[in-house]
Structure 1
Amino acid sequence: MLDALTVVVGVTALALAAWCGFAAYKDQPTKDWHFIGMAVVTVLALAQLVVGIVRLAQGDEASEGTAIFVSYLIGSALAVPAAGFLSLAERTRWGSATVAAGAVVLAVLEVRLHDIWGG
């Protein structure tokens, strides 16, 4: 798959995790600009989903199996939006902590996607 995109998604996810983690440390809920950050990370993850599906359609294969690879692609695209949705229900510092945790999960999924693809 595209290594540069995987690195960019992972790094932006970790930046979002640090940003929202700092907000949780400062006892702040998620705010509008946090949701803008979540949107940026989500768009990158969706771009990775599209690139992964296109690569599979072109005949490339993941070393550990197509089904696992597609499952991880879908999970990585949904990790941050799910955390953002949960943070709307929890309008305290724990909402920010939830987004930080979701972003860390995305970064870990990126490492696993790289391994599944054959990196």
Structure 2
Amino acid sequence: MLDALTVAIGAAALALAAWCGHAAYRDQPTKDWHFIGMAVVTVLVLAQLAIGLFLLARGEKAHEGTVIFVAYLIGAFATIPAAGLLSLSERTKWGSVTVSAGAVVLAVLEVRLFDIWSGGTGA
């Protein structure tokens, strides 16, 4: 898979986590700018989903199995939109905390996706 895209998504997710964490520290809910950041991260993950499915359709195989790889791709894609929807229902600092936590989860999922695809060898 594209290692650079995986690293970019992980870095963007951690930046989003820090940004929303700072908003929570300041007792602020998620604002429109946070949702734009969530949209950017979601578009990157959508690209990763499309590329991953394309590579699987082309005949390449994930080291740890296709089903687990696709499950992680779909989970990674759903993480930020789910956190964003939850933050809309909680218009306090806890909405920002929710997005921050979701972004950290996405960064961890990206590490796991990398391991599933390459078998932990980095190749």
TM-score normalised by the chain length of structure 2:
0.96
Find out whether 1:24 has 2:30 as its counterpart.
Answer: no
Q: Distance in 1 between matches of 2:45 and 2:7?
A: 11
Match of 2:97 in 1: 97
Residue 53 (structure 1) aligns with: 53
Task: Measure, in 1, the Cα distance between the counterparts of 2:33 and 2:111.
Answer: 27
Q: Does 1:67 align with 2:67?
A: yes
**1:97 is paired with a residue of what secondary structure?**
helix
Superimposed CA distance per residue, residues 71-105 of structure 1 (whole angstroms, 9 cap, x where no aligned partner): 00000001000000000000000000000000000
- Structure 1 partner of 2:108: 108
- Counterpart amino acid of residue 23 in structure 1: A
Task: Structure 1: state its 5+ residue gaps.
Answer: none
CA distance in 2 between counterparts of 1:21 and 1:39 reads: 17
Aligned-pair distance for 1:66? 0.1
The alpha-carbon deviation at position 110 of structure 1 amounts to 0.1
Q: CA deviation at 1:111?
A: 0.0
Distance 1:78 1:25 in 2: 25
**Cα offset for 1:26?**
0.4
The TM-score with structure 1 as length reference comes to: 0.99
Letter in 2 for 1:14: L
Alignment match, 2:33: 33
Aligned Cα root-mean-square deviation (Å): 0.4
Cα separation, 2, equivalents of 1:105 and 1:55: 24
